[in-house]
Structure 1
Amino acid sequence: MAELIQDKDASVVASVSGDDPDKCNEEVRHSRTFLDVRSEEELLSGIRKEEQLGTLTPNIAAAMEELFHNYKNAVSKSGIPNADEVVLSNMSVLLDRVLLDAEEPFVFPPHHKMLREPFDYYMFGQNYIRPLIDFRNSYVGNISIFNDIQEKLQQGHNVVMISNHQTEADPAVIALLLELAHPYIAENLTYVAGDRVVTDPLCKPFSMGRNLICVYSKKHMFDVPELAEMKRRANTRSLKEMAVLLRSGSQIVWIAPSGGRDRPDPSTGEWHPAPFDSSSVDNMRRLVEHSGVTGHIYPLALSCYDIMPPPPLVEKEIGEKRIIAFCGVGLSVAPGFNFSDAVASSMTPEEARDAYCQALFNSVNDQYDVLRSAIHGQQGSRASTPTILLSQPWD
């Protein structure tokens, strides 16, 4: 498990891509304010200096400082010997990226391809989240099915993962749990992403390191009523980009049809996957079927809410409070099934749509319950069932 811990030097060096000699010669733009800091005091002083200069708004500056302290507290619980160095290194790189974006904002296109040159945003995100995961108490369900998925991708097929969604860190959690056993899947996933992760200043650098289809969530469609029509048109463009992507084949796409992150039950405090929107599932199914390429849909479950839980209620304003923890996380996939396997011939189109959506949701719930028993019920791999086999493919 030692190879899963990044030291300070590796965290910085891995953020500069070196695969292509020509690209490697490109200059990586940095802000000297944060990249050269050598202590916590210098980093916090840099935040205040940029606020005084007007480069950072008071809200962003306060969020940066709060994030630093929360991240430091979480990483300190990981037990890694160089925790302070890792925190300073990772936070200085993040704040450097946030400051550069404040000076020259990056605008995400409908289909965003991860940026790895000259700065490797993908590895930056991996290195930032890595020390927050307790790999000793983390599990992957049915790792063998990912072997099947990879074979299908190599054959030119498309794969769609219908999943619950728990935190802003979900893409990094998925990639970190798969990076040793299935690095191709980890690095080539395309995520259907809501507008908040491509507009929040503290989220944008992480999003820049992922392949995204950018959409406006239904939950926020009418936050500003006069912008609703613009959001609809933008979503139409994104759907067209998704169709083009799927027509190319060998694509693996992650989508959370609940339209947002899971929230705890207000009466019990327990976390469960949020219900899926059947129209979103059906739209994705139709896109797969009409792509002209063989496609497969798999139910995927994520259990990682402790690492970065969302606010208890859906918020309209950008800039939520980031609570961070060192914790175990889980990922599980179940065999895919066809639309015809989940519906009856006597059903109306609407009934069939709802039945297929419910079948996927039930599978995600079943897997989630096993992950919850393993991680939060402290049962570990003993929580495995005849259909959901837990493993630690990094061990």
Structure 2
Amino acid sequence: MTTSEKSLDAEALRARVADVLAAHDPATTDRLAFLRARFDAGLAWVHFPVGLGGLDAPRELQSVVDAEFAAAGAPDNNPRRIGIGLGMAAPTILKFGSEELKQRLLRPLWTGEEVWCQLFSEPGAGSDLAALATRAVRDEDGWIVNGQKVWTSSAHTAQWAILVTRTDPDVPKHRGMTYFVLDMTQPGVEVRPLRQITGEAEFNEVFLTDARIPDAQRLGEVGAGWQVAQTTLMNERVAIGGNAQPREGGMVGKVAETWRDRPELRTPELRDRLVKLWAEAEAFRLAGSRLRQQLAVGQPGPEGSGMKLAFATVAQQLAALELEILDEDALRYDEWSMRRPELVDFTGRDAGYRYLRSKGNSIEGGTSEVLRNIIAERVLGLPSEPRTDKDVAWKDLPR
């Protein structure tokens, strides 16, 4: 790292943004070409290393860069569409990937050229990820993987996946796992839709049949997949629960809009509930801002579990309140169709969709029950629950 890179401040970053804008006018430059140029200038993730989309700058300066590009009308990388890659895959690849993997994967991940999905949960290992059974067996050419994953968002559009497997069934479950990146377009990978209560198939189940993975696509040491996965999971919960929102952003804004637009439906009891939830949503938003400030000087910790838990709870209560405000109009749900959406759209859909889809908030990204255990043990310091399977080989566990 050069001296100038060590001493980067907000003004220096604004000057770098100005240089990119001068060389690549957003009004005339192809969107993808612009995003690639931004990445190559180190203005994608400013806290990432030089050459990998960053400048080794303080993380909190990212907001300066984003604001400058937004003010100039520059295109963004559609972060909602590629949230799994940005929020989960990228920090894990940066920490555990080889230099070759970082160079190959991070740029198209950030520009959105390659969408990512997460192959963690299984039919018999949802809340207890360490119980997973998908096997990876080593041979002279790498690894052969067989198994089934479930609840996989974006698998139908993904080029790459982060994948946790069982590589040693003869040791306790947390010690026999290994983490890979998987090419979703290769032979042996089958994606099937899972139709949800909304009528859509946003999630998928994925079947792996003799899928081959080169050892060069392994993240971390063999058998250390649990430790690698913790980096992913901590970042996932921050990505779901800690996103930046303006005041009345997201679900609370839609419910407040409904309240203002339909005065004939108001009652004192509904007003009191809305005010209470509005205050909770605002406290949650401000806590998220504080969490992002903490992230600027370190790695995500268990506090992200609290944010994700609060997000799920408030979102579900707001969705239910909106239905009560709308009364019989809430029964309308005109978009029941088998679609394969790329994005979950809470604010652009009707109240019926928001209510149904919010039910998944307390499952995805870690169930609320598991998150409460994490908060109790790792934040509050309470005794952990008794675990009788800690020292039992995975192959000997009842299933």
- Scaled by the length of structure 1, the TM-score of the pair is 0.29
Which structure has more RCO (C-alpha within 8 Å, separation ≥ 6)?
A: 1
- Scaled by the length of structure 2, the TM-score of the pair is 0.29
